[in-house]
Amino acid sequence: MPLYHDDDQAMLADTAAQFMGEEGAIAKQLRHWRDKGCKDGFGHALWKQMAEMGFTGILVPEADGGLGMGHVEAGIVLEEIGRNLTPSPFLTSSVMAATALGQGSDDLRARYLPGLLAGDSVFAVAIDEGAKHNPDRIACKAEKSGNGFRLNGRKDFVVQGASADMIVVAARTSGGETDAEGVTLFAVPKDAAGVGHNSVRLVDSSMASHITFENVELDGDAVIGEVDGGRAVLNRVLDAGRVGAAAEGVGVARGSMDMTVDYLKQRKQFGKLIGEFQALQHRAAHLYSEVEIARAAVIKAQQLLDAGAENASLMASVAKAKAGKAAGLAVKEGVQMHGGIGMTDEYDIGLYMKRDRALAEFMGDLYYHAGRVAEMSGY
Amino acid sequence: MSDLDQFRSETRVWLDANCPPEMREPVRDDADVYWGGRKATFKNDAQKAWFEACRDKGYTVPAWPREYGGAGLSPAEAKVLREEMARINARSPLSSFGIWMLGPALLQFGTEEQKLKYLNEIARGEIRWCQGYSEPGSGSDLVSLQTFGEDKGDHWIVNGQKIWTSYADKADWIFCLVRTDKNDKYRGITFMLFDMETPGVSTKPILLISGNSPFCETFFDDVKVPKQYGDGIPAQVGEVNRGWDVAKYLLGHEREMISGADGGDRTAAIGATLTRAAGAPLDPVLRAELAMFDVDALAYAAMGEKFLDEIKVGKAHPAQPNMMKYAGTELNKRRHELIMAAGGSAALEWDSSESSEGAKPRAWLRTKANSIEGGTSEVMLNVIAKRILELPGA
């Protein structure tokens, strides 16, 4: 498959760019909700609109009422979300939770997917325990209890956890904390007793929860996939999240770069447009090169994931790492090249820097994924 | 089975029957690469058999039309062939500046008679070409070149000097930028072709820091170049005084080639290989550097693939080869720094047989030219800034 968008995908990209550029614009969403101190960190009306556009069901199979598309299409929407810094539950709900539910029972899919497709429901994913992403270690415990399970433990960095109608939780049903086997995924409903949220605002104005589970009783039918065999589902969810976050990262990089290159063409100092200075031209050109390469890595990973290829997970880590590198460079160069104005809250470039920081940590940072690439390569 | 699947299975059968096992081993030294030409010799029977099988099948230049010596493969078929060759690690049967550079220029600008003559010679490995571009005073600022061709009616008299002419001492013919109008900088250059055995042509290899001499100085002393080699075969490609258009077109191809967009191991991850070769766990900080490199290399490999896919359908920005060249050569330099670091003192050995006569340090030093030849990294960044980012006054 060629590494560019086919006609249908190009059309979706146009639609997504227009929609997000208008409805998801920084002033209309990110700043609006931030300045209101919104407890969700995003607007439900926009989520409803995204459902009307069909975006929420991109990864949901047609048999379940979705569009039955792939990670390339989801990534197209995510890149525009990144470019416009649009706060929404798309990555956690429509990409990661939808991937988990895709492995779930008929009952689970019937219970949760209609709400997602309609833009009425928001889902979160609880994997991390501690401040650094390390999905190889799952300590949160689910013990057999009657016909179901009793969940105890804590999760961190659960993005939009307090707003979620359902949380996909990775818990241990057997074995030690770092055993590959013995992990089970659960769909924990919002109203389950014993779930405690400490919802905090992050640097990019998004909301994330530290969640505690205290003797949370779950029905047996809350299990997604197989008991003790959840690692396979979790890996799918992680890969979807990595590639999705990478696509959003590329959007952040491109948004930041475009804004910066525009600024170089407008700002005058020493009687010249600053974009005439070779010192800045070379840095901008190097940035362009990095962002282009990151885009290529991301679309390659999306295609491999859609094809179920053996090396998809390796490429997912390459994509997340490279997108992190490129976006990190884009926002740092962005603020520096803007000079003083880049430090002001009034100007948007700093918002890109903040979003990049949060996105870099989400689903593992550059260091985590470079290390994973080394391990998967055998060194 | 689709036509392409059919082609793939036929290709597998053909490769299985025609590519000798020796030609599936990694290239170790210069003699493992067959360049063709009047003076060429084969290193062994396997190299000869593989070259001849490919030549007869049109696979030295698979995508060129059959009448020019190619196999007339569609872009999709050519990709399948590349993939199948890569799968068995098949060596390239013929390396040639004719294939990479002059060929594409002739396909774009040549007369029908020129194409029939020169492309077939190139495809069949009969004539080895070299490229006369850079001059002592014209490196990055190539258009300032001074080698002059004086119009003598039915011929030119060429005087001047070229430098960094790759393998000029081994080449049969040269494609050469010659100033034919001193009053017009851009429209005063002609893209000339002539025989390196013409009286007045001499070459002198340049000894590099690697200890090798892949480049020459090339001198032209009253070289007589006929204006016509036959009907429809003028001495120049394109029009007289319009050679800069051809040169610019060709520089794009050169940059693609140097960028490693044509695949090969320059885009591969290296951490695992270097760690295995070291025989013991590497320093954790070096391991981290290798991991960071592998991320960049694997991402760049995807970029190479994307770039080739996009060129085929005209989706790539016309200046994108400059980006590929910049990123690819900088990556290759980093790769060899890491090979040296992982190799330790063993990688310092210059002429021992254990070190294959200093293969590592020589290759490391050679890569330092990657970001100089064919346009420096700084020139590539200038072009990206001007043509892609459209920054002012660049």
Q: Check residue A228 and give left, alpha or beta (phi > 0: left; psi -120 to 50: alpha).
A: left
d(CA B208, CA B169): 15
| Res A299: pLDDT | 98
Contact B296, B321 (CB under 8 A): no
| Res B308: pLDDT | 86
Are the beta carbons of B306 and A371 separated by less than 8 Å? no
| Res B261: pLDDT | 44
For the cut 90, the answer to whether the pLDDT of residue B386 exceeds it is: yes
For the cut 70, the answer to whether the pLDDT of residue B1 exceeds it is: no
Q: A90 vs A40, A96, A312, B265, CA distance in Å?
A: 14, 9, 22, 38
CA nearest neighbour of B222 among B165, B170, B152, B133: B152
Contact B246, B237 (CB under 8 A): yes
Count other Cβ atoms within 10 Å, centred on residue B133: 23
- Please check whether the two domains, B3-95 and B129-241, share a CATH topology: no
| Res A64: pLDDT | 97
| Chain B residues within 8 A of A284 when measuring between CB atoms | 385, 389, 391
Q: A160 vs A41, A187, A209, A290, CA distance in Å?
A: 8, 15, 7, 31
Residue type (1 letter), B218: T
Question: What are the backbone angles phi and psi of residue A314, rounded to the nearest 5°?
Answer: -60, -45
Give the count of Cβ contacts less than 8 A between chain A and B. 144
Please report the ipTM that was assigned to this predicted complex.
Answer: 0.96
Encode pLDDT of A39-96 as tens digits: 999 999 999 999 999 999 999 999 999 999 999 999 999 999 999 999 999 999 999 9
Count other Cβ atoms within 10 Å, centred on residue B144: 12
Q: Which residues of chain A have pLDDT under 70?
A: none
CATH of A232-377 given 1.20.140.10, 3.30.70.100, 3.40.47.10, 3.90.1150.10? 1.20.140.10
For the cut 50, the answer to whether the pLDDT of residue B37 exceeds it is: yes
d(CA A312, CA A39): 36
pLDDT band at B256 (very low <50, low <70, confident <90, very high): low
Contact B235, B176 (CB under 8 A): no
For the cut 80, the answer to whether the pLDDT of residue B253 exceeds it is: no
**Interface mutation target, options A254, A258, A276, A293, chain B, most CBs of B under 10 Å:** A293
For the cut 60, the answer to whether the pLDDT of residue B260 exceeds it is: no
The A residues from 322 to 341 touching B (CB cutoff 8 Å) are 322, 325
A297 at the B interface (CB within 8 A)? yes
| Chain B residues within 8 A of A301 when measuring between CB atoms | 302
Q: Map residue A101 onto helix, strand or coil.
A: helix
A316 at the B interface (CB within 8 A)? no
pLDDT band at B258 (very low <50, low <70, confident <90, very high): low
The B residues from 183 to 212 touching A (CB cutoff 8 Å) are none
| Res B306: pLDDT | 94
d(CA B194, CA B232): 16
The beta strands (E) that lie in A262-353 are given as 268-269, 272-273
d(CA A246, CA A239): 10
Are the beta carbons of A281 and B382 separated by less than 8 Å? yes
B310 at the A interface (CB within 8 A)? yes
Mean pLDDT of chain B: 93
Q: Map residue A40 onto helix, strand or coil.
A: coil
The A residues from 260 to 289 touching B (CB cutoff 8 Å) are 261, 264-265, 272-273, 275-276, 278, 281-282, 284-286, 288-289
| Res B267: pLDDT | 66
Domain boundaries, chain B: 3-95, 129-241, 260-388
CATH 2.40.110.10 intervals, chain A: 125-228
Homologous superfamily (CATH) of A7-122 is Acyl-CoA dehydrogenase/oxidase, N-terminal domain (1.10.540.10)
B4 at the A interface (CB within 8 A)? no
The architecture CATH gives domain B3-95: Orthogonal Bundle (1.10)
Q: Find out if CATH 3.10.100.10 is the number for domain A125-228.
A: no
- Tokens (6 digits) for B207: 């000894």
| Res B259: pLDDT | 54
Using alpha carbons only, how large is chain A's radius of gyration in Å? 21
For the cut 90, the answer to whether the pLDDT of residue B6 exceeds it is: yes
Are the beta carbons of B290 and A374 separated by less than 8 Å? yes
| Res B311: pLDDT | 84
CATH 1.20.140.10 intervals, chain A: 232-377
**Could you tell me whether strands B129-132 and B173-179 are parallel, antiparallel, or unpaired per DSSP bridges?**
parallel
| Res B266: pLDDT | 60
Of the ranges A296-310, B20-34, B100-114, B195-209, which one carries the lowest mean pLDDT score? Answer: B20-34
Q: What is the mean pLDDT of residues B230-245?
A: 96
**Could you tell me whether strands B189-195 and B236-237 are parallel, antiparallel, or unpaired per DSSP bridges?**
antiparallel
B40 at the A interface (CB within 8 A)? no
Which ranges in A265-311 belong to alpha helices (H)? Answer: 278-307
Closest residue in A to B300 (Cα) is: A293
CA nearest neighbour of A379 among B339, B276, B277: B276
pLDDT band at B249 (very low <50, low <70, confident <90, very high): confident
For the cut 90, the answer to whether the pLDDT of residue B164 exceeds it is: yes
The beta strands (E) that lie in B45-111 are given as none
Q: What is the mean pLDDT of residues B273-301?
A: 95
CATH number of B129-241: 2.40.110.10
Encode pLDDT of B67-76 as tens digits: 999 999 998 8
For the cut 50, the answer to whether the pLDDT of residue B199 exceeds it is: yes
Contact B327, A289 (CB under 8 A): yes
Homologous superfamily (CATH) of B260-388 is Butyryl-CoA Dehydrogenase, subunit A, domain 3 (1.20.140.10)
The Cα of A76 is separated from the nearest Cα of chain B by a number of Å equal to 16
